[in-house]
Amino acid sequence: MLFRSLNEPQKSIKYYEAAIEGDPGNIAYLYGLSSAQAALGDIDAAISTLNRVSNKLPGNALPWQYMGIQYSRFGRFNEAVEALKESIEINPKLENTRWLLAETYTMARQFDSALMEYQWLIGNSSKKDVAYLKQGIVYQIAKDNKKAKAAYLNAVKTNPKLADAYNNLANLTLETKINYKKGLQWAQRAVSLTPDNPIFLDTLGWLYYQVGDYPNARKYLDKAVKNQPKLAELHYHLAKVYEKLNDKVSANKHFAEAKRIDKH
């Protein structure tokens, strides 16, 4: 019987250890043991087990990829980067590892390296639009809004139905407080593509708030809150709109809910 590692890691470890003792060459058992060890929180044991796999499969990139994933899960981003780089050294065309490495560089705040990986993906992946989107996110985190905007525009040029890129473009106008009119157009496009996304609805509603169109702001923020009632920022934005509409009862209700969800 196979145990589900995430739900019963200790039982899984015992099972896999017994299975490996009976069949020490079975790579699947070693991968299972590593997964169970990680689920139990023992990252060092999980990595040690994956090293056993890499020793058995010296020309295989996957054990190193899994090491990178596990290190990243535990916030050990520099070690994750080194493992993923080793995986790419073995197999430079393993696209999934490139995505993982780019994300890990971003979490490690090694932005230049992340951007280089996304540039590789732009040139080599069928998901060029997503690579542009992710590149824009890195630029935005690094506070280079001009390059972020260019990347998002490349994303929607590559894929005119990429709602996330339109939403991020709209958010840039909120961050920079420049050209809310254009921001509204982008936010409307994002919502038209994904009508029930509470984050997109929030962006659109908050842009209407910025330009003083409070009825439309209430319309979209109310829908955002209904779709995601556990996000404090949505309640806060809706409360600010009700303030402008002189509905103090509703404003206080949503301010209180925002504070209940997030006391800060």
209 near 203, Cβ under 8 Å? no
Most distant pair of Cα atoms in the chain: their distance: 74
What proportions of the chain, in percent to the nearest 5, are helix, strand and coil? 75, 0, 25
Q: What is the pLDDT of residues 183-223, one digit of tens each?
A: 999 999 999 999 999 999 999 999 999 999 999 999 999 99
Per-residue pLDDT for 238 more than 80? yes
Three-class SS state of 73 = helix
What predicted TM-score, i.e. pTM, was given to this entire model? Answer: 0.90
- Compute the distance between CA of residue 42 and CA of residue 34 in angstroms, rounded to an integer: 9
CA distance 135 to 162: 14
Residue-wise pLDDT tens digits, 28-46: 999 999 999 999 999 999 9
Find out whether 53 and 27 touch, Cβ atoms under 8 Å: yes
Note the pLDDT tens digit of each residue in 124-142. Answer: 999 999 999 999 999 999 9
